[in-house]
């Protein structure tokens, strides 16, 4: 069985904007995802939304720009080794409890809820907030 790894939104941001400090490391993770087996790397549908919000802000664009949104969504969904899982009602309910338990914001708590539901033990992220959770953070 393949060990699943959850890909946090910051990996995609650094990859797509060619971040000067984290861009190359993120590109390495993207190469692994491209060559990975289906289900080895996962993220949630929330990641696509967060990515659109962050990148539209960085580009001084809006979420009304279909070309920008298409470019973002297509870049991520085209990665053959990445599974994008939907958010479920239970994730939202669990996230509120996780916010209190691990002192996370709502978005990170939603990601954590998805990871726990999907039985993921590792997250690819440079967000140290996940160090307060039962996950092993790698980057």
CA 45-42-26 angle, 5° bins: 100
What is the arithmetic mean of pLDDT over 116-131? 96
Backbone angles phi, psi at 55, to 5 degrees: -70, -35
Q: Is residue 136 part of a domain?
A: no
Contact 109, 102 (CB under 8 A): yes
SS3 61: coil
Q: Is residue 137 part of a domain?
A: no
For the segment 78-123, what is each residue's pLDDT rounded down to a tens digit? Answer: 999 999 999 999 999 999 999 999 999 999 999 999 999 999 999 9
pTM: 0.93
Q: Is residue 133 part of a domain?
A: no
Q: Is residue 109 part of a domain?
A: yes
Segments forming the whole domain that contains residue 83:
5-126
What sections of 3-133 are H helices per DSSP?
9-17, 23-35, 45-58, 66-77, 89-102, 106-117
For the segment 11-54, what is each residue's pLDDT rounded down to a tens digit? Answer: 999 999 999 999 999 999 999 999 998 789 999 999 999 999 99
pLDDT reported for residue 61: 81
In 3D space, the residue among 104, 109, 93, 103 whose CA is nearest the CA of residue 46 turns out to be 109
Check which CATH number belongs to the domain holding 18 and give it: 3.40.50.1010
In 3D space, the residue among 70, 129, 136 whose CA is nearest the CA of residue 98 turns out to be 129
Q: Is residue 106 part of a domain?
A: yes
49 vs 54: CA distance, rounded Å: 9
Q: Is residue 134 part of a domain?
A: no
Number of domains in the chain: 1
Q: Is residue 90 part of a domain?
A: yes
């Amino acid at each position: 069985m393949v060990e699943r790894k959850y890909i946090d939104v910051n990996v995609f941001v650094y990859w797509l904007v060619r971040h000067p400090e984290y861009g190359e490391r993120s590109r390495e993770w993207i190469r692994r995802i491209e060559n990975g087996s289906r289900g080895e790397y996962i993220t949630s549908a929330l990641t696509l939304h967060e990515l659109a919000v962050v990148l539209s802000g960085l580009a001084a664009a809006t979420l009304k720009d279909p070309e920008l949104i298409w470019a973002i969504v297509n870049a991520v969904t085209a990665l053959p080794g990445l599974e994008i899982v939907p958010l479920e009602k239970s994730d939202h309910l669990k996230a509120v409890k996780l916010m209190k338990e691990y002192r996370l914001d709502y978005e990170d708590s939603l990601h954590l809820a998805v990871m726990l539901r999907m039985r993921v033990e590792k997250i690819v992220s440079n967000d140290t907030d996940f160090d307060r959770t039962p996950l092993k953070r790698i980057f």
